[in-house]
Amino acid sequence: MKIKRNLSREKEWLFNDGSLPIQVKIVEPGDINSVEHYHKTMHEYFFLLQGRARISVNGTVHALERDDVLIVEPGEIHRVIDYSADMRLLLLMPPPVPGDKYVVSF
């Protein structure tokens, strides 16, 4: 059993040491530094806790509102492109895999 208190105050990925099958991060507007990228093997889960966000996946923009979940599959190019000032986003994904993230450059 593990418990993490005050999760919303953390600014880094949690549980990303491989000890659990998931890593967790709360993202707020000041934390967004999104570039177009994809993951070779990992899924990424975007759960909008508060506010609004727009996320591009393979060139299609998806508007998220509170309590929406967007699941990005391996190989899908994605990035957060817009968000409200009160946005809070819970990101969930497997522990990091070296070399799995590819930044798309044009």
What pLDDT tens digit does each residue of the chain (106 aa) get? 888 888 888 888 888 888 889 999 999 998 888 899 999 999 999 999 999 999 999 999 999 999 999 999 999 999 999 999 999 999 999 998 999 999 997 6
Q: What is the pLDDT of residue 10?
A: 83
Task: Return mean pLDDT, the chain.
Answer: 92
Q: What is the pTM of this model?
A: 0.90
Kindly list the domain boundaries of the chain, sorted by start residue.
9-96
Q: What is the pLDDT of residue 23?
A: 93
State the DSSP string of 37-83: EEESS--EEEEEEESEEEEEETTEEEEEETT-EEEEPTT--EEEEEE
Q: What is the pLDDT of residue 91?
A: 95
Nearest CA to 29 among 94, 85, 76, 68? Answer: 85
9-96 under CATH 2.60.120.10, yes or no? yes
Q: What is the pLDDT of residue 106?
A: 61
Contacts of residue 105, defined as CB under 8 A and 6 or more positions apart, other chains included, come to none
